[in-house]
């Protein structure tokens, strides 16, 4: 397999799920940076859970697995980590030099909860697939998301429609990211289940969240 270095100024693929859930929330994490540490710590603890999943230790016959595979797309300016890639021996697959054989790759993303109504998890998986495709010059038809709460994986087809949605989201994210502009908050149903609701700028009538916090700190110091 070819390998590439990541580019620091590229978008994190995992951010696409935040962007789809709420553009403002994505901006708070990925542009304002203020909460990135918390989110990354949280994601790290998820990874810890993933490592203890017995499925990750599975190895049999014509299948082998690679974990935490770094991917990057220069076309979309995104980079990230694929939790796991399952390689299944297949003469029509990808040539793996280290093994001197052909394998078909299936990417797998691990999630704590259960399948969502929205496309958040699917666009993330599809974006990872698109980056992997660009690196390896192949086309993936589908991948999987493993949900801990239901203890099984679901198949996700990388349809043209899903790919188009991913492309549109990434283009929009890149516009905000290049301008370093956090999208404005919009009150919606999802706000009730949002863990950022206490920090969200919707509560601070257009004030920049950093300015707000600076004022609070100045007042109490
Ligand atoms: S509270 Fe609502 S608007 Fe604010 S970050 Fe959360 S989902 Fe977005």
Q: Is 104 helix (H, G, I), strand (E, B) or coil?
A: strand
- Give the pLDDT band (50/70/90) at residue 128: very high
**CA–CA separation, 163 vs 148, rounded Å?**
26
Residue nearest to atom 2 of ligand 1 (CA): 191
Q: How far does residue 207's CA lie from ligand 1's centre (Å)?
A: 15
CA of 216 to the centre of ligand 1 (A): 21
* pLDDT exceeds 70 at position 26: yes
Q: Which residue has the higher pLDDT, 211 or 84?
A: 84
pLDDT for 54:
46
Q: Please give the domain boundaries of the chain with CATH numbers for all domains.
A: 11-182 (3.90.320)
pLDDT digits (tens, 9 = 90+) for 46-69: 655 555 454 555 667 899 899 889
Average pLDDT of 115-139? Answer: 95
Best mutation site among 22, 30, 31 for ligand 1, i.e. most ligand atoms within 8 A of its Cβ?
Answer: 22
Mean pLDDT along residues 81-92: 93
Cα 81 to Cα 114: distance, rounded to the nearest angstrom: 21
Sign of CA dihedral 146, 150, 151, 155: negative
Given a cut of 90, whether residue 44 has pLDDT beyond it is no
Residue scoring higher pLDDT (199 or 148): 148
Q: Which atom of ligand 1 is nearest to the CA of 28?
A: 5
Rounded mean pLDDT, 140-152: 94
Confidence of residue 182 (pLDDT cuts 50, 70, 90): very high
Q: What is the largest CA-CA distance in the chain?
A: 68
Instruction: Give me ligand 1 centre to Cα 202, in Å.
Output: 7
Burial of residue 181 (number of CB atoms within 10 Å: 0-12, 13-18, 19+):
exposed
pLDDT value for 198 = 72
pLDDT at 59: 66
168-179 pLDDT, tens digit each: 999 999 999 999
164 contacts: CB under 8 Å, gap ≥ 6: none
Q: Which residue has 């100045």 as its token pair?
A: 218
Selection from 136, 65, 70, 68 nearest residue 106 by Cα: 65
pLDDT in tens, 185-218: 888 887 877 777 777 766 655 455 566 555 544 5
pLDDT of residue 221: 44
Judged against a pLDDT cut of 90, whether residue 119 lies above it is answered with: yes
Q: Give the residues surrounding ligand 1 with Cβ less than 6 Å away.
A: 22, 24-25, 185-186, 190-191, 194, 196-197, 200, 202
Residue to substitute in 200, 201, 204, 206 for testing ligand 1 pocket (most ligand atoms within 8 angstroms of CB): 200
β-pairing, 142-147 with 101-111? parallel
């Amino acid at each position: 397999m070819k390998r590439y270095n990541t580019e620091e100024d590229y978008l994190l693929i995992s951010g696409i799920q935040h962007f789809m859930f709420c553009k403002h929330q994505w901006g708070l994490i990925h542009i304002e940076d203020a909460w990135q540490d918390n989110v990354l710590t949280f994601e790290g603890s998820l990874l810890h859970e993933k490592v203890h999943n017995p499925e990750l230790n599975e190895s049999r016959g014509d299948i082998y697995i690679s974990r935490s595979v770094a991917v990057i797309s220069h076309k979309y300016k995104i980079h990230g980590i694929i939790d796991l890639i399952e390689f299944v021996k297949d003469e029509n697959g990808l040539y793996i030099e280290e093994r001197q054989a052909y394998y078909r790759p299936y990417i797998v993303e691990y999630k704590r909860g259960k399948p969502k109504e929205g496309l958040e998890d699917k666009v993330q998986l599809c974006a990872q697939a698109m980056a992997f495709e660009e690196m390896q010059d192949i086309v993936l038809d589908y991948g999987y998301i493993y949900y801990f709460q239901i203890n099984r994986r679901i198949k996700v087809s990388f349809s043209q429609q899903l790919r188009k949605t991913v492309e549109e989201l990434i283009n929009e994210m890149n516009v905000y990211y290049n301008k370093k502009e956090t999208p404005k908050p919009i009150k919606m149903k999802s706000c009730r289940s949002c863990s950022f609701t206490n920090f969200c700028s919707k509560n601070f009538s257009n004030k920049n969240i950093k300015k707000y916090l600076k004022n609070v700190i100045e007042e109490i110091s």
